[in-house]
Amino acid sequence: MFDGLTVAMVTPFQGGALDLEATARLVDGLLEGGVEGLVVSGSTGEAATCTLDERRTLWRFVRERVAGRVPVVAGTGTNSTAESITITRLAEEIGLDGAMVVTPFYNKPTPRGQVAHFTAVAKSTRLPIILYNVPGRTGTNTLPETLAQVQDLPNIVAVKEASGSLDQASAVRARTGLTLLSGDDSLTLPMIAVGATGVVSVAGNAAPRQMRALCDHARAGRMREAEAEHRRLMPLFKALFVESNPGPVKYLLSAMGILRNELRLPLVPVEPATEQAVLAAARAVGLPLAPEAQPAARA
């Protein structure tokens, strides 16, 4: 159920609060662009600085706006097993379609601790679970051998692999039966070539049609067409990670007139050089920018 293009949604803010009007614009645009799933309150959604009440409000709003057209998955993982269980149960109570559970960050659990954490969260809910391995953010790599120990839990169904290693992705495919999803936009094509069936995408917030085309071509084995899309999108993939995600993509979405360029501390808006790079990449892809979209002046 998590194959294809899933977008890790940004969370729009206005004046420090959730901006549900902008959220509606974003969700509608993503659905029109052909996304096949949404992750709400992941790292791209600044979940670390959102309260439980804000998550509840956002999840209900997105679920109602989507109205069953695609699966809506909540990012529910934290570095506390008990808190992760509480948040996952909330997602189930609200009626979402799945939960994404990141490897616990900061604590740096051993493989045995990771297995215990994932098992406890999985057994607390009936929701299908995507495990999320992103060692660049968590400080800990969840290895294929670790995933193999939890794959028999019936509701652990997929892994978002963002280690950046195709060798590791290949090992996940060889050692588990989990659905493999790319966690890096720039590796979508090679990941599908080694057995992934889709991507959890940041770039898809701004370029859903193009990312859907890339996924469709690759899944159908039309590798020449997939490579053409990959090459066309590559400057955008790079520009969106010049600074910490979601700073660049939020700036781009603001330049497209979809939401405000507002992040929560400790994240701050991107630098003018990054704005220039993002706008240049967006224009190269042909994304619709507002006429006034220009890099901001800094004193």
Tokens 């956002």 map to which residue?
58
Looking at the structure of the chain, the number of domains it has is 1
From the candidates 108, 132, 250, 251, which is the catalytic residue?
132
Q: What is the dihedral of CA 143, 35, 85, 82, to 10 degrees?
A: 60
CATH of the domain at 206: 3.20.20.70
DSSP H or E run through 37: strand 37-40
Q: How is residue 148 written in tokens?
A: 């193999």
- Show the domain range for 214: 4-221
Q: Taking the mean position of all CA atoms in its chain, how far away is CA 201?
A: 5
Residue 271 domain-assigned (yes or no): no
State which amino acid sits at residue 259: L
Residue 49 domain-assigned (yes or no): yes
List per-residue pLDDT tens for the chain, 299 residues long.
799 999 999 999 999 999 999 999 999 999 999 999 999 999 999 999 999 999 999 999 999 999 999 999 999 999 999 999 999 999 999 999 999 999 999 999 999 999 999 999 999 999 999 999 999 999 999 999 999 999 999 999 999 999 999 999 999 999 999 999 999 999 999 999 999 999 999 999 999 999 999 999 999 999 999 999 999 999 999 999 999 999 999 999 999 999 999 999 999 999 999 999 999 999 999 999 987 776 665 54
Paired strand residues for 99:
74, 129
Angle at 173 between CA 168 and CA 179, to 5 degrees: 115
At 213 the three-state DSSP class reads helix
Quote the CA–CA distance of 162 and 191 in Å, as a whole number: 10
Residue 215 domain-assigned (yes or no): yes
Compute φ and ψ for 2, nearest 5 degrees.
-110, 15
From the candidates 106, 108, 123, 160, which is the catalytic residue?
160
Full-model pTM: 0.95
Residue 251 domain-assigned (yes or no): no
Residue 77 domain-assigned (yes or no): yes
Active site residue 251: no
Quote the CA–CA distance of 4 and 173 in Å, as a whole number: 17
